[in-house]
Amino acid sequence: MNNMHPLEHNPAIRRVSPWLVFHIASLATFLVSIDTTVLYVAFHSIAKSFPEANPTSIAWVMNAYTIVYATCLIPAGGLADRYGRKRIFMLGVALFILASVLCGLSPNIHTLIAARVIQAIGASFLGPAALSLILEAFSKEKRAIVVGAWGATGALAAALGPAVGAWIVDAWGWEWAFYINAPLGIYCLFMGIKTLNESSNPASRLRFDLVGMLLIIAAIAAITSSLIEYKHYLNQPHIPLLIGGSGLGLLLLFVYWCKKTSNPLVDLKLFQNRTYRAVNIAALFFSTAFATMFFSFFFLMTKIWGYSLPQAGLAMMVGPATVVPTALWGGRMASRYGHKMVLVAGCLIFSTSSIWYLNEITAIPDYLWACLPGQLISGIGVGLVMPSLSGAAVHDLPQKDYAIGSAINQAIRQIGTVLGVAITVSILVKSAVNLDDFHLLYTIQFLLVITSAIFVSYVNTRQS
């Protein structure tokens, strides 16, 4: 009887198929994932709609969202634990839908950035709650497989996002990249209200640390700004160095604050576990590399090879589509042999794609030879790594820490995405981009992923 799943001996809880819970929670996660990839496609369209905006402000349409999302994930995880995973999940979906509509209606770049901040808050509410609902619905023996399937859902969104988004943006404008969230979001609300069970841990501590939130937002914003703006101060390099140094100083102050305050934004005790610590450091490096790869692809297709936006979107589908079956297979392997083998193999495979692009990409369009093999290789690598990072992060955590533990992991991955976007913008957003710029990015990607491979070698989730 002690091994029974909680739902099996609690008469107050409706019997709901675990896979129905997975369907609703994953569909909402799908919305957040597809919204990110669509924005990569819409970058140039948004710039044309707001001629008064500079590349830096356009970049903040993505980065303001990602920074706020990353920062709010952690208190949102605590809210889900304390006040109810279903309740916070539903609130997050509703906010995300509302903000998506406001984004599409934005009359200027500043309003769009503000709407993106609201959208980020909604996304942060639904993300940790969605994963907690999924983890709670399944037995521990099946969680590695289920987390792999959950990661595959995000990969499917990444596969569909560029092609569908490019077609939508090209045909109807960037506004519809946001409007498309409404119908699927409303469906999630209806199904969630109707079928999901509520669960919570009222005794959990709520981590609403305003000082910590402001410190980490300011730190990441300063570091990101220094990366984006450095090329504008080539004659005054001390300015971006000063901004970046201030960001690093704020980051150290954030760590000090979390050590000293009684209820910090980030519980540093979680990082005493070697696997959790290694997974999160690796996630930062790998997410940075992934963002540079994904975002730079559209610059290569449109600026160097002369592809139209819909052509570039279709060309991008193959790699992410490869992620889906790989993630499912990787989840099974992680369940059987532990996450370490899957993570190390995935990082090494992904690094091979960077070497391929570095040696094969030229100014002459050659999708079948120069691009397609690299996409297949990177898709396999991402499929092995991304879901396994999520699974390994929560593997050894007690149930009460599912939401907060996964929230910290997701937040770190989002910070990596911010850094990746900033690096890509700093190198590629200029009047004349050339192949040397892409070669520099591929070299950076390789170094980041190899560093990630070193850290995941310390992961140990294999059952003894």
Q: What is the rounded CA–CA span in Å between residue 128 and residue 124?
A: 7
* Domain presence at residue 123: yes
Q: Do residue 112 and residue 184 come from a single domain?
A: yes
Q: How many domains does the chain have?
A: 2
407-421 tens-digit pLDDT:
788 888 888 988 998
Per-residue tokens: 325:
């079956």
CA atoms within 13 A on the CB side of 138: 19
Q: Does residue 461 form part of some domain?
A: no
Radius of gyration of the chain (CA): 21
pLDDT at 53: 79
Average pLDDT across the chain, whole number: 83
Considering the domain architecture, whether residues 107 and 140 belong to the same structural domain is answered as yes
Query: Does one domain contain both 347 and 239?
Result: no
Tell me which residue range forms the domain holding 304.
Answer: 16-207+266-456
**Among 265, 282, 301, where does a domain finish?**
265
Where is average pLDDT lowest: 50-54, 63-67, 233-237, 357-361?
Answer: 233-237
Question: What are 39's two structure tokens?
Answer: 């924005």
Asked whether residue 368 falls in the same domain as residue 242, the answer is: no
The CA distance from 61 to 429, in Å, is: 15
Please indicate, yes or no, whether residues 293 and 260 belong to a single structural domain of this protein: no
Is 165 part of a structural domain of the chain? yes
Q: Does the pLDDT at position 149 exceed 90?
A: no
Burial annotation 303-342 (CB, 10 A radius, 16+ → b, else e): bbbebebbbbbbbbbbbbbbbbebbbbbbebbbeebbbbb
Residue 299 lies in a domain: yes
Do 195 and 243 lie in a common domain? no
Task: Give the model's confidence band at 4: pLDDT under 50 very low, under 70 low, under 90 confident, else very high.
Answer: very low
- Residues 292, 385: Cα–Cα separation, whole Å: 16
In this predicted structure, what is the pLDDT of residue 203? 56
pLDDT at res. 1: 39
Q: Does 125 map to a domain?
A: yes
CB 412 within 8 A of CB 283: yes
Domain membership of residue 462 (yes or no) is no
**Six token digits for residue 161:** 């996002």
> Of 228, 244, 265, at which residue does a domain stop?
265
Q: Is residue 4 part of a domain?
A: no
Q: Looking at the structure, do residues 258 and 280 belong to the same domain, yes or no? A: no
Q: What is the pLDDT of residue 7?
A: 44
Q: Are residues 417 and 338 in the same domain?
A: yes
Q: Is residue 143 part of a domain?
A: yes
pLDDT value at 6 more than 50: no
Closest CA to 291 of 434, 422, 187, 460: 422
Contact (CB, 8 A) for 162 and 130: no
- 259 and 273 in a single domain? The answer is no
Token pair, residue 462, equals 């294999």
Same domain as 80, residue 186? yes
Burial 144-157 (b: 16+ CB within 10 A, else e): bbbbbbbbbbbbbb
Under the banding of pLDDT at 50, 70 and 90, the label for residue 239 is confident
Query: Does 94 have pLDDT greater than 60?
Result: yes
Q: Token digits for 42? A: 């819409």
* 358: alpha, beta or left? (left if phi > 0; alpha if psi -120 to 50): alpha
| CATH number of the domain encompassing residue 405 | 1.20.1250.20
Domain boundary among 220, 239, 265: 265
Query: Is a pLDDT exceeding 90 seen at residue 404?
Result: no
**Do residues 248 and 295 both lie within one domain?**
no
List own/partner pairs for 367-374 with CB under 8 A and 24 or more apart.
367/315, 371/315, 372/318, 374/319
Q: Would the CA dihedral through 219, 221, 222, 226 be positive or negative?
A: positive
Q: Are residues 234 and 213 in the same domain?
A: yes
